[in-house]
């Protein structure tokens, strides 16, 4: 995992974005916490197991479906994407990266929101 710090990317309220294992961190939001680093590391595992292109295709399609389900509330739709659900649910578990099984994000596909 390689961190790239910038004052300009990612834009908006996003603190970090993971593109193929490169973590771009907007320094205007401060440094990434250990929890956020784990969140991004989970995305790195998801991306690798889906051969990167598959991850981004699935992510975009699921975001579009969630957008309709969430009545076009973009942030809510983003939080409902199964890959994000896994990352948010497990980012606080310090041993998760070692114990995680491949494609664990699929368990979050049909889970109800909490």
Which span (22-30, 58-66, 87-95, 99-107) binds Zn ion, by CB under 5 A? 87-95
Which span (8-16, 58-66, 83-91, 93-101) binds Zn ion, by CB under 5 A? 83-91
Which span (54-62, 63-71, 86-94, 103-111) binds Zn ion, by CB under 5 A? 86-94
CA-to-CA distance for 32 and 61, rounded, in angstroms? Answer: 28
Beta partners for 108? none
- 87 contacts Zn ion (rule: CB under 5 A): yes
Q: Which of these, 37, 24, 17, lies nearest to 97 by C-alpha position?
A: 37
Report the residue number, 23 or 87, with the smaller CB distance to Zn ion: 87
Secondary structure tally for the chain: helices H, strands E: 5, 3
Q: Phi, psi at residue 64, to the nearest 5°?
A: -60, -45
Q: Which of these, 94, 93, 88, lies nearest to 113 by C-alpha position?
A: 88
DSSP-derived letter for residue 16 is E
Find the shortest distance in angstroms from Cβ 5 to Zn ion.
Answer: 18
Find the shortest distance in angstroms from Cβ 65 to Zn ion.
Answer: 17
- 37 contacts Zn ion (rule: CB under 5 A): no
Find the shortest distance in angstroms from Cβ 30 to Zn ion.
Answer: 17
Binding site for Zn ion (CB under 5 A): 84, 87
């Amino acid at each position: 995992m390689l961190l790239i710090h910038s004052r300009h990317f990612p834009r908006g309220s996003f603190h970090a974005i993971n593109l193929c294992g490169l973590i771009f961190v907007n320094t205007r939001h401060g440094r990434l916490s250990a929890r956020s680093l784990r969140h991004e590391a989970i995305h790195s595992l998801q991306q690798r197991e889906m051969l990167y292109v598959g991850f981004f295709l699935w992510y975009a399609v699921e975001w579009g479906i969630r957008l309709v389900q969430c009545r076009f509330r973009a942030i809510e739709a983003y939080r409902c994407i199964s890959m994000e659900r896994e990352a948010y649910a497990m980012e606080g578990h310090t041993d998760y990266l070692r114990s995680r099984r491949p494609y664990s994000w699929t368990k979050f596909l049909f889970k109800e929101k909490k």
